[in-house]
Structure 1
């Protein structure tokens, strides 16, 4: 059960090119009920095709896409890594897991993860066949060995937009699990009861 105590921090959410990114506003809204810090969303190009950045901006404090190039001096991999206490990648595609496990930097999100010294948590979202592939599992093992956190997805019936039907596959994390992981791994977070006096 998710604690009702509030907590703080500077959270960076990396969103990648999966149809599941359409549910991102739901997660941010749920997080707002207990999280009193700042939320920045860094979207890959494909993520911004699935979900318009200006829609995400209705829920997040800041949205970064890396475009146009004129924004790079203020929002680049170095500043984003330094200005946040934790990065959560949701949804994390098989491609993103592979790129990070290999130390690649093909886009701003991957480069920011590579530059980060704070906790990075991946919430994988993909089909069951993809998740079970030895190559994907090798990448997960490598990421954990490198100090990243990869949350094992729960399985259940999920509507696959590419197949147009329900299939048994890894599920996006339920919002309470998402919130608990952010709370647990946020460095130096100080839980504050809703009834605590302001300081």
Structure 2
């Protein structure tokens, strides 16, 4: 194997998709993961995430999509979701989700699953520069880290602002290869399967 060909890795990945417009990029992230990640990918979506990106579209890329619909609660509940996965990646993570998890709130299926998780949880915050700089958001990020979660600081780059009709410098979602490397880093290594 050459250094140009990354090795494959596996596990059971749970991606939490929140109500950031950047959720529209989720299929690109899943496709990038598929290049080297051979495990399963489940996506749990908040209601607002489903407004930006329909769950049936996400189901074309993920092995399973969970929306927290009340009629599916017995099969898809926070405890089961948390127990059935090796790693959670909140991608993208809105300021609202950071706040809810930092304070122990569980207003939806995603945040309740984070509360029930005993596996690593990695947050990829995506929001405007003004929001990212707010003391309350910074306190929430600090609290998440103190609680043992991993928060990947967004990079600053150019993004299109619909309201302004042009590009602005702002925190931007990480490139798909960067997300793959973070997932690889935090995915617990599983031992060989016994016969």
Q: TM class by shorter-chain length?
A: over 0.9
User: Which 10-residue stretch deviates more, 170-179 or 1-10?
Assistant: 1-10
In structure 2, the residue matched to 1:48 is 50
1: CA distance, partners of 2:147 / 2:115: 11
Question: What's the TM-score, normalizing by structure 2?
Answer: 0.93
**Does 2:93 align with 1:92?**
yes
Paired residue secondary structure (1:75): coil
TM-score after normalising by structure 1:
0.92
C-alpha deviation, 1:82, in angstroms: 0.4
Q: Secondary structure at the match of 1:156?
A: strand
What SS does structure 2 have at the residue aligned with 1:54?
A: helix
Deviations, residues 69-94 of structure 1 (Å, cap 9, x unaligned): 22111100010000000000011001
- Aligned-pair RMSD on alpha carbons? 1.4
Any residues of structure 2 matched to 1:42-81 within 5 Å, and which? 42-67=44-69, 69-81=70-82
Task: Provide the aligned length of Structure 1 versus Structure 2.
Answer: 189
Three-state SS of the structure 1 residue aligned to 2:8 is: coil
Unaligned runs of 5+ in 2: none
Q: CA deviation at 1:40?
A: 0.2
Contact 1:9 1:186 in 2 (8 A): yes
Q: Which runs of 5+ in 1 are unaligned?
A: 191-199
The match for 2:130 is 129
- The CA distance in 1 between the partners of 2:21 and 2:5, in whole Å, is 29
